[in-house]
Chain A
Amino acid sequence: MEKTKLNIDIKEEQKKAQENITRQGLRVLVCAGTGCVANGSLKVIEKFKELGADVSVLTDYDKMTIVPTGCHGFCEQGVLVVIPDKHVTYVKVKEKDVEEIYESHIKNNKPVERLMYVDPKTHQHVQDDEHINFYAKQTRTALANCGNINAECIDEAIAVRGYEALSNVLEENNPEAVIETIEKSGLRGRGGGGFPTGRKWRFTAANRGGKSYVVCNGDEGDPGAFMDRSVMEGDPHKLLEGMAIAAFAIGADEGYIYVRAEYPLAIKRLRKAIADAEARNFLGKNIMGSDFSFEIHIKEGAGAFVCGEETALIASIEGERGMPRPKPPFPANKGLFGRPTLINNVETLANVPVIILKGAEWFSQMGTETSKGTKTFALTGEVNNTGLIEVPMGTTLREIVFDIGGGMRDGKKFKAVQIGGPSGGCLTEEHLDIPMDYDNLIKAGAMVGSGGLVVMSDKTCIVEVARFFMNFTQNESCGKCVPCREGTKNMLKILEKIVAGKGEMKDLDTLEELAHAVKDGSLCGLGKTAPNPVLSTLKYFRDEYIAHIKDKKCPAGVCTAMKKVVINEDLCKGCTKCARTCPVGAISGTVKQPHHIDQSKCIKCEACFTSCPFRAIVLE
């Protein structure tokens, strides 16, 4: 196939962009992702700008530039301020701290120790990312630029090789070779299913000729997962480039990004990125002077979890109720507006440019036999370091929870990890050392899913968590097919009954029977995976279910129906504080005499528990 002569020299553009960055002088990166903005990063940025106007004080630089970046991943420690040239990462920075950083570190080269990260194990201050365990153990590929560049500036993306892969692909002008590279890399869908990406591209490319579409699934609905949000906010150009490469490979000229309405910042940054890329002719008509044209639209979702399912997502883009359609026909043959459509998840597409640049072999060296590359996980729950991480496939749960995550918070005991959201399952202590990849997790009764990892301690009630997920899927069931609509409702009823202390042993059998019926009979992925949290908790924590049913006890002390609030008469001084606090008047007693709680009136709100100055109130 003949090579295409392009009218844009990307290497030249890159050089110019890099020179621009050098001219910025001392770069101060301030995280402006959703998390840090909530913690006040915009004020931090303003303050820095105010101070930085006086450049005469800088010794080694002629100026200082404040760079608002995308998410660094370490959201709980926000606002994060990174000064790469000074090898420092400051955490929990507030507006009032900015002056000290500026005066002490930027002007006088004296790092501000009190604003550095404190290692939860050694209690030492740590100066830079390389020594913060949370970052040191990660391998960032899809998230490589998130937090290092200004997400709203296309030049910064170009400086870190943005659009170079697209340029190479257009120059080579060989769509077949692109598909082959993706196939060889072993990349699998990061949205949950893990379907081989290259194969999906090939199926869609087989229908080349007429109108076809590339759709990016940014409907990140799994509670507890936010990697796609971070990519869209922190490095939107990588996603656009990935989509353009996919479109070139399969012969599409139009694309849609479907984003949840809950992500307003991502929508804003994507819109800007699309406009900037069009202005540079990296998107639009005859990209870089080639024959290839590609335009991208944004579609905002309206809050329906089921729209993460590809056929439901298509229905939603078409303006209809987001209900799944039976497959076949697969979207590769008959998708959006009845045309062949390639649907990939955000993270999947973000991996594409780097695979093209560094080669399939480089990518496939990372990971395990069947799962190549890296995977992002949203690490949350009862661990010390919560945030967004990216590790090679095959990393063990132990490394994630105890090294990167810094162990359990408040000295709590590790009980389980819930992985893959409402479609996933639980992993327990016995799974801490299995290499995490698509297939091992399926074997363990869980799934990678979108990569939400919620760490749970002995203070988390497993049965309540199962009820929580079932409540979620039941709410989100679109109602089209009977097994999902009726099955999830009845499973939820049983779980509510158990949590309320009214369960019977035979309920467990019914629950399991229903779970299998829903799993086997449902139309789409939502229903097929909805019973997973129940099945996996029944498998690993049956004891807890039985404790709720037979002993009417919640071992974690969470389920209110089984809680009892009592006053320890030996400790009670009769100060009457609790009696005055109780909203339902359940506590009685005379001054300076031990008080008493009327269990028939008590609503277990624990208001008395927090009010008692003598710790005389006990939860049983």
Chain B
Amino acid sequence: MSVENHHVVDTSKLDEIISTCGGKKSNLIAMLQKVQEVYRYLPEDAMIYIGTKVEGLSPATVFGVATFYAQFSLQPKGKFEIKVCDGTACHVRGSMPVLNAIRAKLNMQEGQLTSESGLFSLETVSCLGACGLAPVVVINDKVYPQMTSDAITIVLDTLIKEEN
């Protein structure tokens, strides 16, 4: 997955995404997923571009779809995307203390998506289907099973250290 940090939208890249999705409006969700892979969020200009370019769509429709699905973010996400599972099994086995420990460690407020440094973004998700390993935290597709406040702090320390 290639990640670019600039927020100026590269229209040739968008054209490429549109064409790999067959330019069909029924593939809008797939297009937005690919855009998010590139920019780590959906830049407004990219949504307007797709909404104008693809037949049968309008920028309003694209915005409507983008805001409907939880996967899409209109703000830039961090380099490390932390997802804390708060499905039933994880919740019962204590996902909230883990979430609080992450917030404390990264100095993030409730409702804040990305850390000051831009390194981490934090969200809760409903269920990752790894209930046998509850509570679970996923950081950039790597699953960390049976987390505790202490264990996740160690994980974050390691990531921060590697980054420095």
Contacts and interface: CB of A to CB of B under 8 A. Distances in A.
Interface of A: 34-35, 37-39, 74-76, 78, 220-226, 229, 261-264, 299-305, 316-323, 337, 378, 380-382, 386-388, 418, 421, 452, 454, 456, 460, 465, 468-469, 472, 476, 478, 605
Contacts of B71: 261, 301-303
B75 interface: no
A261 B32 CA distance: 13
A546 B13 CA distance: 59
Contacts of B129: 34, 220, 225-226, 229, 262-263
Nearest to B97: A606
A86 B143 CA distance: 31
Nearest to A457: B92
Given A262-B125, A302-B32, A320 B131 contact: no
B88 A454 contact: yes
Contact of A75 (B32, B72, B132, B144): B132
Interface string B48-76: 00000000000001001100111110000
Given A223-B87, A321-B64, 16 more contacts: A35-B145, A37-B143, A75-B130, A223-B86, A261-B71, A262-B125, A300-B29, A302-B32, A303-B72, A304-B69, A319-B24, A380-B131, A380-B134, A382-B92, A388-B132, A468-B91
Interface of B: 24-30, 32-33, 61, 64-65, 68-72, 86-89, 91-93, 100, 125-134, 136, 141-145
B145 A319 contact: no
Contacts of B68: 304, 321-323, 478
A39 B133 contact: yes
A304 B29 CA distance: 12
B126 A378 contact: no
5 shortest A-B CB distances, which residue pairs? Answer: A75-B132, A223-B87, A38-B143, A303-B70, A302-B69
B73 to A, nearest CB: 11
B92 A39 contact: no
Contact of B127 (A222, A317, A387): A222
Contacts of B69: 301-304, 322
Given A262-B129, A264-B141, A418-B88, A302 B72 contact: yes
Given A35-B145, A318-B26, A387-B132, A224 B70 contact: no
B88 A223 contact: yes
Contacts of A454: 88-89, 92
A472 B86 CA distance: 10
A468 B87 CA distance: 9
A443 B65 CA distance: 39
Contacts of A263: 129
Nearest to B28: A319
Q: Pick from B61, B86, B89 the residue with the most CB of A within 10 Å.
A: B89
A75 B133 contact: yes
A584 to B, nearest CB: 12
A320 B27 CA distance: 9
Nearest to B92: A381
A300 B125 CA distance: 17
A300 B88 CA distance: 23
Nearest to A478: B68
A276 to B, nearest CB: 22
Nearest to A266: B129
Q: Pick from B91, B100, B127, B129 the residue with the most CB of A within 10 Å.
A: B129
Contacts of A318: 26
A468 B132 CA distance: 19
A342 to B, nearest CB: 19
B78 to A, nearest CB: 18
A262 B133 contact: no
A35 B89 CA distance: 14
Contacts of A387: 132
Contacts of A418: 88
A240 to B, nearest CB: 20
B104 to A, nearest CB: 8
Given A262-B125, A319-B28, A38 B145 contact: yes
